[in-house]
Structure 1
Amino acid sequence: MIASRQPLPLGRASLLGLAGTLAFLGLWAAIAHSGLVQHLFLPTPIEVTRRFLTLLTTPFAGGTLTAHLVSSVQRFLSGYLLAALVGVPLGLMMGWSRLLDDIVTPVFDALRFIAPIAWVPFAALWFGTGVGGPILIIFAGAFPPCLINAYRGARYVDPRLMEAAAMLGTPGYRVVTEVMLPAALPSIVAGLRISAGLGWQSLVGAELIVASTGVGYMMVQAQGAVSTTTVMVGMIAIGLFGVAVDTTLRLIETRIRIHLGHA
Structure 2
Amino acid sequence: MARPGVRGAAARAAWTAAGLGLLGLAWQWGATAFGPFVLPSLRDTGQAIVHLVVSGVAGPALLATLVHALGGCLAGGAVGLALGIAGGLVLPVGAMSRPVFTALLGTPPIAWVVLALLWFGPGGTAAGFTVAITAAPILFLAALEGVGSRDPALTEMALLYRAPPLQRLTDLVLPALADFLLPALATALAFSFKVAVMAEVLSGADGVGGGLATARSHFDLAATMAWIVLAVVVLLVADALLLAPLRGWRASREGRVGARAEA
Question: Shift of residue 146 of structure 1?
Answer: 0.6
Q: Report if the CA contact (8 A) 1:32-1:42 is conserved.
A: yes
Asked whether the equivalents of residues 116 and 137 of structure 1 are also in contact (C-alpha less than 8 Å), the reply is yes
SS, match of residue 125 in structure 1: helix
Given candidates 126, 136, 161, the residue that maps to 1:133 is: 126
The one-letter amino acid of 2:21's match is L
Q: Matched residue pairs, number?
A: 250
2:101 equivalent in structure 1: 108
Q: How does 1:158-173 map to 2 (within 5 A)?
A: 158-170=151-163
What SS does the corresponding residue of 2:14 show, helix, strand or coil? helix
Cα distance 1:261–1:158, how it changes in 2: closer, same or farther (>3 A)? Answer: farther
Q: Give the deviation of 1:173 after TM superposition.
A: 6.5
How far apart are 1:177 and its partner, in Å? Answer: 5.2
Corresponding residue for 1:119?
112
**4+ residue stretches of structure 1 with deviation over 4 A?**
170-174
The 1:168/1:19 distance shift into structure 2, 3 A limit, reads: closer
Structure 1 runs not aligned, ≥5 long: 1-7
Aligned ranges 1:213-252 → 2 under 5 Å: 213-248=206-241, 249-252=243-246
- CA shift, 1:251, in A, is 4.8
Equivalent residue for 1:154, pick from 133, 147, 151: 147
The one-letter code matched in structure 1 to 2:211 is M
The residue type paired with residue 55 of structure 2 is T
Q: Does 1:58 align with 2:55?
A: yes
Give the share of equivalent positions with the same residue, in percent. 23
Contact kept, 8 Å, 2:104 with 2:134, in 1: the verdict is no
- Conserved 8 A contact 1:28-1:45: yes
Cα deviation, residue 24, structure 1? 2.9
Structure 2 equivalent of residue 46 of structure 1: 43
Asked if the contact 2:98–2:141 (Cα under 8 Å) also holds between the matched residues in 1, the reply is no
- Counterpart CA distance in 1 for 2:214 and 2:255 is 50
1:15 partnered with 2:27: no
Query: 1:119 is matched by which residue type in structure 2?
Result: W
Query: Which moved further from structure 2: 232-241 or 98-107?
Result: 98-107
Q: Which moved more, 1:126-135 or 1:182-191?
A: 182-191
Query: 1:143 maps to what in 2?
Result: 136
- Rounded Cα–Cα distance in structure 2 between residues aligned with 1:148 and 1:105: 7
CA RMSD, Structure 1 to Structure 2 (Å): 2.2
Cα pair distance change 1:94/1:174, threshold 3 Å? farther
Cα separation, 2, equivalents of 1:31 and 1:105: 45
SS at match of 2:219: coil
Evaluate the alpha carbon distance shift between residue 113 and residue 50 of structure 1 in structure 2; reply closer, same or farther with a 3 A threshold.
same
Q: Which amino acid aligns with 1:42?
A: L
Larger displacement relative to structure 2 (42-51 or 250-259): 250-259
Distance of 2:8 and 2:251 partners within structure 1: 19
Q: CA deviation at 1:194?
A: 1.4
Supply the distance in 1 between the matched residues of 2:156 and 2:220 (Cα, whole angstroms): 63
* CA 225–237 in structure 1, closer or farther in 2 if over 3 Å, else same: same
Amino acid at match of 1:54: H
Structure 2 gaps of 5+ residues are: 1-6, 258-263
Closer, same or farther: CA 134–37 of 1 in aligned 2, 3 Å: same
TM-superposition CA deviations, 1:169-211 (whole Å, max 9, x none): 3465764455312432332222211111111111111111013
Q: Which residue matches 2:261?
A: none
> 2:203 aligns to what SS in structure 1?
coil
